[in-house]
Structure 1
């Protein structure tokens, strides 16, 4: 799966990591629903750090379609809320 982190680029991510990332996504969703700004910020950074850690960066000149788009690390709670689907940022 190709994942884009807005403002950073794309990474190739094995589907085997989706369950782990979904756990962080669920925490992020709960923090957003409760209005926990500091928790939201911490979990967003943890989610993006894990994607960077387990993903393989694609070259900057690669023009692959992204299957998943994640917010930038400095995105606001409102910006991320606008990106959400029914099951959070990460499907599943």
Structure 2
């Protein structure tokens, strides 16, 4: 699957990582709902690190469609809530059409 980290670029991540990413996704959703910035930072950091560690960085100009788009490191609860208002999934992860 192709995972794009906003402000960083795309990664090709093995499909087997879907479950682990989904678990972190649920934790991210809970942190956003609770308005817990400290927990958001921890979980988002773990999610991004998992993508970087398990994935292979692709050139920034790789135009393949992304399966997931993740917020940038350092995103705030307010920023992710704004993404939700724009139609991102509840966890702050957005799936491109």
Q: TM-score range by the shorter chain?
A: 0.7 to 0.9
Residues of 1 paired with 2:42 and 2:24: CA distance? 10
- Residue 15 of structure 1 deviates from its aligned partner by 1.4
Residue in structure 1 matched with residue 5 of structure 2 by the alignment: 5
Count of residue pairs the alignment pairs up: 90
Residue in structure 1 matched with residue 89 of structure 2 by the alignment: 85
Q: How does 1:8-47 map to 2 (within 5 A)?
A: 8-47=8-47
- 5+ residue gaps, structure 1: none
- 5+ residue gaps, structure 2: none
Residues of 2 paired with 1:8 and 1:55: CA distance? 13
TM-score where L is the length of structure 2: 0.82
TM-score where L is the length of structure 1: 0.85
Higher relative contact order (CA 8 A, sep 6+): 1
Residues of 2 paired with 1:67 and 1:14: CA distance? 12
What's the secondary structure of 1:20's corresponding residue?
A: helix
